[in-house]
Amino acid sequence: MGAVLVAGATGVIGLAAIRHFASLGREVIAVSRRAPPEVPGVRHVALDLTDGPACAAALAGLDVEHVVYAALYEKPDLVAGWRDPEQMATNLAMLENLVTPLAEGLAHVSLLQGTKAYGVHIRPFPVPAKESWPRHDHENFYWLQEDWLRAAAARHAFAFTIFRPQVVFGDAVGVAMNLTPVIGVWAALRKAEDKPFSFPGGPPYLLEAVDAELIAKALAWAAEAETARGETFNITNGDVMVWQNLWPALADALGVETGPEEPASLAAEMPGREAAWQEVVSQHGLRPSTIAGLVGHSHHYADFCFAHGAKRTPAPVLVSTIKLRQAGFHDCVDTEEMFRAQIARLQSERMIPPRG
C-alpha cells in the first residue's frame, strides 16, 4: 500500500487530513512550504508547488497511492482575488506540478472546491445547491483544475473525487480561510480593551458550516469507496447556523461577555492592534505570535462570512448533502460542539487566552 500525500498540509483541511490518515496507520507525506505541526507517522516534504522543476525532482520516485489536494493560492485581498485570472492560472499550475510526477502510480486523487462553485461570491443561488446542476457560468480555478484532473485521470487510469465543503472551520493558524483563530483573537482583543465581544458583522442569515475533521474522515472514505469514484459531493456538518444565534456559545467557550452588535471590519481593524495583541500574549503566557501569524488572510474572509457592510439580509447559503449520504458517508457534527472543541484546542495549545 502506497503513501497518502496531502498537499497544503498546513492549511485548515490539510492539517486535519494528515492527522486523520496518520491515526488510521497510513504512511503520510505532508507537502507544504512550511512545516506543519509535528504528527507521529507524518513525513514533511518542503515544497513550493508553483516551482515545476522542484516538484518534479522532489516527487519523482515516491510511492504514492492517494493524493489529497488541499493546497491553495490566494491573493492578499482575498475576495477580489477570487476573480483574478493570475490567481486561477497559479492554482491550475500548482495542481499540475504536483500530480504530473506522481500520476503513473496513483490510485486516487481527492480535490477540494467549495460553494464558489455555485457562484456564492457573485449572486444568490437557489437553495439547496445540488451537485447535478450545470456548471455555474463564471470563471473559476475550480473548473480549470477539474477539467485538467479529469483528463489526467482518464489518461493515467486513476480515480478521483471532488468535495465541495461549505464554510470550513478548524484549528490551523496563519491560513487564508479559517475563522476560528480570527474569532479567538478578536475576542481577546476586545476583552483587553474592556469591551464586550459584540458581533461585528451584518444582518443575520442562514448558512452551514463544516468541521475540517469531518472532511478528513470523508477524504479517507473516498480513498476506498467505489461509490466515490468520479463523483462530486457537497459536505457540511449536517445542521444550519446563524452567527448571531451562535455568538453567545462562542463567548462562553472563550470566557468573554457578549454585548450589542457592533459592526466592524476585522480586515481593517485587526492589523492595527498588534501592540495590544502582544500585551495579551505576554499577560497570558501565550506562544509568541503575531496577529498575521495566527489569522493569515482570514480576517478578510471573516468580513465576507459575517456579511459585514451588507445593506440587506443575504440570501440563505445552503447546499444539499443527500448525494454524499446516499453514496455511503453518513457522519455529522454539531456545529456548536465543533466550535467549542476547536476553541478549546487553541486554548490548550496557548494560541489564544484560556477560558478562565
Q: Is residue 326 part of a domain?
A: no
Q: pLDDT category, 79, cuts 50, 70, 90?
A: low
Report the Cα–Cα distance between both ends of the chain, in Å, rounded.
47
Q: Is residue 327 part of a domain?
A: no
pLDDT in tens, 245-272: 999 999 999 999 999 999 999 999 999 9
pLDDT for 84 equals 79
Q: Is residue 356 part of a domain?
A: no
Q: pLDDT category, 177, cuts 50, 70, 90?
A: confident
pLDDT for 123 equals 79
What is the CATH classification number for the domain harbouring 143?
Answer: 3.40.50.720
pLDDT for 90 equals 94
Sign of CA dihedral 333, 335, 340, 346: positive
Q: Are 223 and 193 members of one domain?
A: no
Q: Higher confidence at residue 1 or residue 221?
A: 221
pLDDT for 82 equals 65
pLDDT for 81 equals 54
Q: Average pLDDT over the chain, rounded to whole?
A: 95
pLDDT for 80 equals 57
Q: Are 254 and 340 members of one domain?
A: yes
How much is the average pLDDT of 176-204? 97
Q: Is residue 32 part of a domain?
A: yes
Q: Is residue 322 part of a domain?
A: no
Q: Are 141 and 267 members of one domain?
A: no
Q: Is residue 7 part of a domain?
A: yes
Q: Are 139 and 18 members of one domain?
A: yes
Q: Is residue 296 part of a domain?
A: yes
How much is the average pLDDT of 193-215? 97
CA–CA separation, 116 and 113 (whole Å): 8
User: Is residue 309 packed enough to be buried (19+ CB in 10 Å), middle (13-18) or exposed (0-12)?
Assistant: exposed
CA–CA separation, 242 and 170 (whole Å): 18
How is residue 65 written as a grid cell?
A: 497511492
**Domain C-terminal end among 184, 218, 235:** 235
* Amino acid symbol at 174: G
Q: Are 45 and 69 members of one domain?
A: yes
Let me know: does 255 contact 239? Beta carbons within 8 Å.
no
Q: Are 146 and 223 members of one domain?
A: yes
How much is the average pLDDT of 123-142? 90
Q: Are 192 and 339 members of one domain?
A: yes
Q: Are 229 and 278 members of one domain?
A: no
Q: Is residue 324 part of a domain?
A: no
Q: pLDDT category, 137, cuts 50, 70, 90?
A: confident
Which residues neighbour 291 within 8 Å (Cβ) at sequence distance 6 or greater?
185, 270, 271, 273, 274, 277
Structural domain range at position 152? 3-168+209-235
Q: Are 65 and 91 members of one domain?
A: yes
> How many distinct structural domains can be found in the chain?
2
Q: Higher confidence at residue 1 or residue 18?
A: 18
User: What percent of the chain stands above pLDDT 90?
Assistant: 87
Residue 56, pLDDT > 60, answer yes
How much is the average pLDDT of 178-194? 97
Q: Are 223 and 311 members of one domain?
A: no
Q: Are 13 and 107 members of one domain?
A: yes
Q: Are 179 and 195 members of one domain?
A: yes
- The bridge status of strand 231-235 relative to strand 159-165 is parallel
